[in-house]
Structure 1
Amino acid sequence: MTASTFRALHHDRAAGDPLVLPGPWDAASARVFADAGFPALATPSAGIAASLGYEDGSTPAEEMFAAVARIVRAVSVPVSADIEGGYGLAPAELVERLLEAGAVGCNLEDSEGHATLKDPQRHADWLAEVRAEAGDALFINARVDTFLFGSGDPADAVARAGLYVAAGADCVYPLLAPTAAFPVLREGIAGPINMAAGTDKESVTELARLGATRITFGPGMQRYAISAIGELAAGLRAPN
């Protein structure tokens, strides 16, 4: 599958019909989601980190790209990869590693050290370099962390998003944006918007109503699965 196939899934969608992308954390979960009929998948970095025994943000680049490659090999649908802040790799190497893994897209966040926001213009310039190296071979989802580490002001998120779209991002992802801010984001941001849902149909339906173009779940599905396994384990250990 190519980036153009994946990119097309984001455009010309009917109102209230977002692209819903489950988040596989390994090959087995990827097959489950693909077999359920989802047209594409989006890996969560935190979910993969947990599956490999790391804290979120601590996965070595080699292991993250290897995990993405295993997921890509397991399914026949397009896979986009959350690669956090790019692991300090130069744009050319970053693009090379993504394409080697078979990913058709990536998430790139505008915070560093899981603590502070990057300068938006500097980040936009870096995104432009990634776009120049990738051409049309990668779909770039630019995460906007204003609501996570910044002021929480929707106007700031819109300003950052505008810079990233101008730099070549295909989609923007205002992580943890409250639903009250979504009308401002939808009006002020050109192009597709990614929003994160909980692992329930009602959450997906609400984001669709609010105008999300694309819906992902972060590590929610991996955590849901682990919770279910925990309940199973507790039941097996319970006395007769």
Structure 2
Amino acid sequence: MTIQQEKAEKFAELHARDQAFIIPNPWDVGTSRILAHVGFEALATTGAGFAFSVGRRDGATSKEEMLAYVRSIAQATDLPVSADLEEGFADDPDEVGEFIVEAAGTGIVGGSIEDRGYGREKVALGDRYSVDVAVARIQAAVDAARSLPFKFLLTARCDNYLMGHPDLDDTIRRLQAYQEAGADCLYAPGLTTKDEIRAVVSAVDRPVNVVIGLSGEPISLSELEEIGVRRVSLGSTLSRTALGSFITAARELKEHGTFGFTKDAIAYADITAMFTG
């Protein structure tokens, strides 16, 4: 059995158990190793966090840049990694399937495909694919995943809420269609209440991922687990938290000439210890 197969089995087992798990999103090798050191069981990449790290807006990285980033995270630790594969860098279902195979070659054991465009081809940035096209794209991704010599866990993502279309009924219909197309995990970022999350979980029979850090009522891991959520991600939240602290520090320096932010800096010896060995 290969290392990738072992990681894939471990990742599938996390989704099969009753206990929910957190899958945090590092944006580079250093943050990957910190999260592994803290003790998380799996990692997920963040397209937005990576874009911010290279000075771009979300969705403005190339396929080649994204694959290089994903590879670096997959190789940074011994943990299974699922990747934010955006819309698959293509509109055409067959090309999405080809991208899944290409992405799997980086060492990841799972990935998500979205039902919105990024303006790279025919679908404008933020526009949603029609249900028929979105389902065909998920089906192609699933078929490609099943062709791999290990269990690649395919997450289908409905971006209605993120794109300003908070239609719960349509979101559920789309997720149910993606389930029928064979998706292993379902994800609708931007759900804002426990009732919305509960409605999604009760409407499907696949593990549901919920992202924390967007707008909405605060919900703990135990509460999400009670609702039936199996996976909790952070998206770009950790990246934005770090950048928020950096900007606050920079503004204190520029506007006040003081150094109060230094009290929150991790000790040099502590961060060095995390990267030793």
TM-score, normalised to structure 1, is: 0.90
| Aligned equivalent of 1:154, options 138, 154, 168 | 168
For the pair 1:182 / 2:193, whether they are aligned, the reply is no
Match of 2:98 in 1: 93
Letter of the 1:170 partner, please give it.
Answer: D
Aligned with 2:232: secondary structure? Answer: strand
Match of 1:121 in 2: 132
Q: Which segments of structure 1 move beyond 6 Å, counting only runs of 4 or more? A: none
CA contact (8 A) 2:46 2:84 kept: yes
Question: How far has the Cα of 1:154 moved from its partner?
Answer: 1.6
Question: How far has the Cα of 1:124 moved from its partner?
Answer: 1.2
C-alpha change, 1:163 and 1:202, in structure 2 (3 Å) is closer
Letter of the 2:206 partner, please give it.
Answer: G
Distance 2:162 2:24 in 1: 22
| Aligned equivalent of 2:13, options 3, 8, 25 | 8
Distance 1:221 1:205 in 2: 20
Aligned with 1:112: secondary structure? Answer: coil
Question: How far has the Cα of 1:150 moved from its partner?
Answer: 6.0
| 1:1-240 equivalent positions in 2, closer than 5 A | 1-2=4-5, 3-13=8-18, 17-88=19-90, 90-113=95-118, 114-135=125-146, 137-149=151-163, 151-179=165-193, 180-198=195-213, 203-235=220-252, 238-239=256-257
Distance 2:9 2:83 in 1: 16
Question: How far has the Cα of 1:83 moved from its partner?
Answer: 1.1
Q: RCO higher in 1 or 2 (8 Å CA, sep ≥ 6)?
A: 1
Q: Where does the alignment leave 5 or more consecutive residues of structure 1 unmatched? A: none
Aligned residue pair count: 237
Distance 2:47 2:25 in 1: 9
C-alpha change, 1:128 and 1:87, in structure 2 (3 Å) is same
- Percentage identity across paired residues of the two chains: 31
CA contact (8 A) 2:98 2:144 kept: no
Aligned with 1:147: secondary structure? Answer: coil
Question: How far has the Cα of 1:207 moved from its partner?
Answer: 3.0
Question: How far has the Cα of 1:146 moved from its partner?
Answer: 2.1
Aligned with 2:178: secondary structure? Answer: helix
Question: How far has the Cα of 1:41 moved from its partner?
Answer: 0.3
Calculate the aligned-residue CA RMSD, in Å: 2.2
Provide Cα deviations, 1:116-140, integer angstroms capped at 9, x if missing partner.
Answer: 2111122112211121122154211
Structure of larger gyration radius? 2
Match of 2:121 in 1: none
Moved more, 139-148 or 75-84: 139-148
Distance 1:152 1:202 in 2: 19
C-alpha change, 1:219 and 1:8, in structure 2 (3 Å) is same
